[in-house]
């Protein structure tokens, strides 16, 4: 069933893309950032930018979703060299899961040791409000339960081991740093932590599905991030991830609410400034990652 799956991009393909990028810029990033829906403004904050449209990067997929610009931006943030994906790829765009996660392997080959991912998500936890920022402490991988895991297929040991551990996927020190920085910045009222559940999308969830996911222990539901986290951890990068609660998942048959992408992008705009501030302050304070997984 899977033998060709991971052949989608070989180690050599990933290396060719990374080497191409390294010939185009002097920036040698240690931090890689992925911007979620409506959160691409993060990339604009990088200083001394060198930016590439995805269509100009060998082997790179194209962004097809409104709110995902499709640019890879290199630059510095508080003096630290970074690379930022202004737009990510999703299963529902029709890409194979290995293609969605290809940028993580390119990050690794560029020298990135820490990946920061953001996403827009629906809130399942009844204590969450629209505009809350949730530090991801864990995930539920629904496509993975059905066998759609980005590491399925032949394993290339140059990236990582056949059976990587995921109980330590989300770096605990970075979670604590985010909490500390959030408190200092006065974000305590809307900074939460929780479990993110990924689904395939693009349809939003039914009421019964939201109720089920909540019962299973999910605090937020979305359509991304987890595949990238798995590949980033497989190749030994440290991971930190944030969900912006852009809408309340509909859990009640009396509700008139309807999830929609416009609301997702609108909430992104309203909270973007604080989310950016949180990430920049964290990047300024982060220690380098010395212990590859």
Active site residues: 37, 68, 90, 92-93, 120, 223-224, 247, 261
β-sheet bridge partners, residue 121: 245
Q: Of the candidates 293, 292, 281, which has an alpha carbon nearest to the alpha carbon of residue 79?
A: 281
Nearer to ligand HPA, 264 or 275 (CB): 264
Which residue's Cβ lies closest to ligand HPA?
122
For the chain, the distance separating the N- and C-terminal CA atoms, rounded to the nearest angstrom, is 28
| CA–CA gap between residue 118 and residue 147 (Å, rounded) | 24
The binder of 50, among ligand LQZ7MJT6, ligand HPA, none, by C-beta within 5 to 8 A per type, is none
148 is in an annotated binding site: no
247 is in an annotated binding site: yes
Q: Of the candidates 97, 79, 131, 115, which has an alpha carbon nearest to the alpha carbon of residue 241?
A: 115
Among 65, 220, 251, 286, binds ligand LQZ7MJT6 (CB under 6 A): 65
Give DSSP secondary structure letters for 173-209.
Answer: HHHHHHHHHHHHTT-TTTEEEEEEEE---SSPPPHHH
Among 249, 264, 275, 283, binds ligand LQZ7MJT6 (CB under 6 A): 264
Helix axes 172-184, 261-285, angle to 10 degrees: 100
Residue numbers of the site for ligand HPA (CB under 6 A)? 120-122, 204-205, 221-223, 246-247, 249, 259, 264
Query: Can the peptide bond before residue 59 be classed as cis, meaning omega within 30 degrees of 0?
Result: no
The binder of 224, among ligand LQZ7MJT6, ligand HPA, none, by C-beta within 5 to 8 A per type, is ligand LQZ7MJT6
Based on the shown chain and the rule CB under 6 A, indicate whether residue 267 belongs to the binding site for ligand LQZ7MJT6: no
Q: Encoding tokens for residue 102? A: 């290809």
- Residue 182 in 3-state DSSP? helix
Number of amino acids touching ligand LQZ7MJT6 (CB under 6 A): 13
Binding residues for phosphate, by number, are: 37, 68, 88-90, 120, 224
What does the binding site for ligand LQZ7MJT6 look like in residue numbers (CB under 6 A)?
36-37, 65, 88, 90, 119-120, 201, 222-224, 261, 264
């Amino acid at each position: 069933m899977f033998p060709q799956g991971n052949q989608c991009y070989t180690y050599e393909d990933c290396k060719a893309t990374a080497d191409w990028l390294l010939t185009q810029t002097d920036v040698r990033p240690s931090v890689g950032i992925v911007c979620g829906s409506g959160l691409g403004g993060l990339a604009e904050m990088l200083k001394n930018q060198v930016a590439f449209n995805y269509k100009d990067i060998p082997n790179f997929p194209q962004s097809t979703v409104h709110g995902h610009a499709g640019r890879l931006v290199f630059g510095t943030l508080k003096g630290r060299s970074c690379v930022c994906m202004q737009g990510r790829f999703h299963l529902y765009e029709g890409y194979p899961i290995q293609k969605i996660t290809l940028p993580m392997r390119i990050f690794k080959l560029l020298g990135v040791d820490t990946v920061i991912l953001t996403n827009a998500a629906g809130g399942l936890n009844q204590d969450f409000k629209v505009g809350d920022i949730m530090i991801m402490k864990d995930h539920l991988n629904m496509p993975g339960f059905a066998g759609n895991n980005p590491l399925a297929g032949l394993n290339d040991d140059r990236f990582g081991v056949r059976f990587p551990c995921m109980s330590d996927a989300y770096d605990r020190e970075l979670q604590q740093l985010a909490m500390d920085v959030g408190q200092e910045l006065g974000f305590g009222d809307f900074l939460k932590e929780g479990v993110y559940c990924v689904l395939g999308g693009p349809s939003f969830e039914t009421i019964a599905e939201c109720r089920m996911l909540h019962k299973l222990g999910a605090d937020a539901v979305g359509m991304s991030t987890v595949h990238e986290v798995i590949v980033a951890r497989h190749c030994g990068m440290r991971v930190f991830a944030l969900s912006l609660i852009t809408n309340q998942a509909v859990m009640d048959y009396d509700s008139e609410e309807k999830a929609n992408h416009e609301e997702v992008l609108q909430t992104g705009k309203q909270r973007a400034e604080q989310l950016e501030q949180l990430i920049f302050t964290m990047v300024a304070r982060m220690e380098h990652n010395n212990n590859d997984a």
